[in-house]
Amino acid sequence: MRPPPLQHDKQTRQKRRMEKAITNAFIQLVEEKGYEPITVGEITERADVGRTTFYRYFQNKSQILVHLHSKRFENLNIAPSTREDWLSGEAPQSFIDLLTRAQHQGRFKSIIYKMGLDIGYIQHLIEESLAQHFATKLQEAFSETEMKTPMPIVARSLAGMFSWMVKWWVQYSPEYTPEEMAKHVYSLMASIVREAVDISDEHYIIHE
């Protein structure tokens, strides 16, 4: 049985407050001492919550990092919202801005190197979250019947390509500007989607 609307709203607000307290404490600790040395005990102490509360929302500190990435995917509109945007290959300004900050601050590279043994596990979870984000946006823009390739396969292909290219660019700093890198990433995304969707009767524009 679902809780009454008012009780549900109260529970939702409580959940958001707890998640925010925990994630804020995590971010502060990462900025102070890096990712790897942080313990759950330090996070709960900084957030002023009990361990039971922590484990109600997160399995471990890695899950906090994945949660923050998931929120960022939504806030930055990583996935296009309309079929026209999916097919155009035009990168959103929010993504270009993100790459610009990463290039100047070096923050992403620093975090990658400080994840220690958790890096493979975290990257896997982030890719899963990104694939789910892409799948949700694809379902909003296209119907299952017009997909020549199943949506889960398309979403995972997009997530794998996207995360690999961004990680490669951040870690090895190739000679591409944020604008150029964003253009290449979204052009490839559009190519994958155009190949997966039956658009034989449609006209679309590829932005040069």
Query: Is 78 contained in some domain?
Result: yes
Please check whether residues 17 and 100 belong to one and the same domain: no
In 3D space, the residue among 48, 14, 178, 205 whose CA is nearest the CA of residue 102 turns out to be 178
Query: Is 21 contained in some domain?
Result: yes
Question: Given the structure tokens 């679902």, which residue do they identify?
Answer: 2
Query: What domain range is 171 assigned to?
Result: 64-196
Please check whether residues 84 and 154 belong to one and the same domain: yes
CB 38 within 8 A of CB 29: yes
For residue 207, what pLDDT band results from cuts at 50, 70 and 90? Answer: very low
Q: Is the pLDDT of residue 3 over 70?
A: no
Please check whether residues 190 and 95 belong to one and the same domain: yes
Rg (CA), the chain: 19
DSSP one-letter code for 178: H
Instruction: Name every residue whose Cβ is closer than 8 Å to that of residue 164 and which is 6 or more positions away in sequence.
Output: none
H/E element, 159: helix 151-172
Please check whether residues 43 and 135 belong to one and the same domain: no
Please check whether residues 93 and 181 belong to one and the same domain: yes
Q: Is the pLDDT of residue 162 over 80?
A: yes
DSSP string, 14-46: HHHHHHHHHHHHHHHHHHHH-STT--HHHHHHH
Please tell me the distance from the alpha carbon of residue 115 to that of residue 135, in angstroms, as a whole number: 27
Please tell me the distance from the alpha carbon of residue 57 to that of residue 17, in angstroms, as a whole number: 11
Give the Cα-Cα-Cα angle 76, 77, 82 (nearest 5 degrees): 165
For residue 134, what pLDDT band results from cuts at 50, 70 and 90? Answer: very high
What pLDDT, on a 0 to 100 scale, did the predictor assign at position 51? 94
Q: Is the pLDDT of residue 85 over 60?
A: yes
What pLDDT, on a 0 to 100 scale, did the predictor assign at position 203? 47
Please check whether residues 48 and 124 belong to one and the same domain: no
Q: Which of 43, 58, 73 is the last residue of a domain?
A: 58
Q: Is the pLDDT of residue 125 over 50?
A: yes
Please check whether residues 54 and 107 belong to one and the same domain: no
What pLDDT, on a 0 to 100 scale, did the predictor assign at position 88? 92
Query: Is 201 contained in some domain?
Result: no
Mean pLDDT score, 136-161: 93
Which phi and psi (to 5°) does residue 173 adopt? 45, 55
What pLDDT, on a 0 to 100 scale, did the predictor assign at position 172? 80
Mean pLDDT score, 111-136: 76
What pLDDT, on a 0 to 100 scale, did the predictor assign at position 208? 43
**Better pLDDT: 125 or 39:** 39
User: What is the number of structural domains in the chain?
Assistant: 2
What pLDDT, on a 0 to 100 scale, did the predictor assign at position 65? 85
Please tell me the distance from the alpha carbon of residue 144 to that of residue 154, in angstroms, as a whole number: 12
Query: Is 159 contained in some domain?
Result: yes
Q: Is the pLDDT of residue 164 over 70?
A: yes
Please check whether residues 128 and 173 belong to one and the same domain: yes
- Convert the pLDDT of each residue in 20-63 to its tens digit: 999 999 999 988 888 888 999 999 999 999 999 999 999 999 88
Query: Is 208 contained in some domain?
Result: no
Mean pLDDT of the chain: 84
Q: Is the pLDDT of residue 117 over 70?
A: no
Please check whether residues 115 and 164 belong to one and the same domain: yes
For residue 163, what pLDDT band results from cuts at 50, 70 and 90? Answer: confident
